């Protein structure tokens, strides 16, 4: 797992601005999630597979959390000033990562994906017709 490989690595975090003035990227010196994966949380409820995102949503000004590669992007409310909140967020993220915790629980992600696949609505009549043709003529 990503965090297991970097448990003894000192955690360094720096800021990067975004085109959105209400978002700020907190970049770590190691991978937080596997390359090619990203997780976008727009509310506390949507962050069921990320303890870090759930913790960040406890800050009253946090409106969104995005996790990808080696960074966490936090979107704040317009009435909060970055000068007043960024250092606290940086310290919180750094402390979280220093504890060796994962940003995203990939086991929960897989379970949620399986549950979604099982509860997916059945295909339309056209979908079923196409599947039938494929089964009958393409995959005999």
Mind listing the pLDDT tens digit for each residue in 39-65? Answer: 999 999 999 999 999 999 999 999 999
Chain segment 115-124, per-residue pLDDT in tens: 766 555 566 7
Q: How far is CA 138 from CA 4, 17, 61, 122, in A?
A: 45, 51, 55, 22
Q: Which of 111, 97, 110 shows the shortest CA–CA distance to 5?
A: 97
pLDDT band at 139 (very low <50, low <70, confident <90, very high): low
Q: What is the DSSP string of 9-24?
A: SPP-EEEEE-SSTTEE
Q: CA-CA distance, 120 to 114, in Å (whole number)?
A: 10
In the block, residue with structure tokens 């909060």: 80
pTM of the predicted model, to two decimals?
A: 0.76
């Amino acid at each position: 797992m990503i965090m297991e490989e970097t448990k003894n690595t000192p955690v360094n975090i720096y800021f990067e601005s975004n085109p959105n003035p209400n978002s700020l990227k907190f970049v770590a010196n190691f991978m937080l999630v596997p390359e090619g994966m990203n997780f976008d949380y727009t509310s506390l409820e949507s962050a069921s597979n990320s303890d870090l995102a759930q913790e960040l949503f406890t800050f009253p000004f946090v409106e969104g959390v995005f996790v990808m590669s080696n960074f966490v992007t936090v979107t704040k409310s317009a009435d909060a000033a970055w000068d007043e909140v960024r250092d606290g967020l940086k310290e919180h993220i750094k402390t979280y990562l220093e504890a060796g915790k994962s940003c995203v629980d990939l086991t929960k992600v897989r379970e949620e994906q399986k549950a979604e696949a099982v509860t997916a609505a059945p295909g339309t009549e056209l979908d079923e017709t196409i599947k039938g043709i494929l089964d009958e003529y393409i995959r005999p």
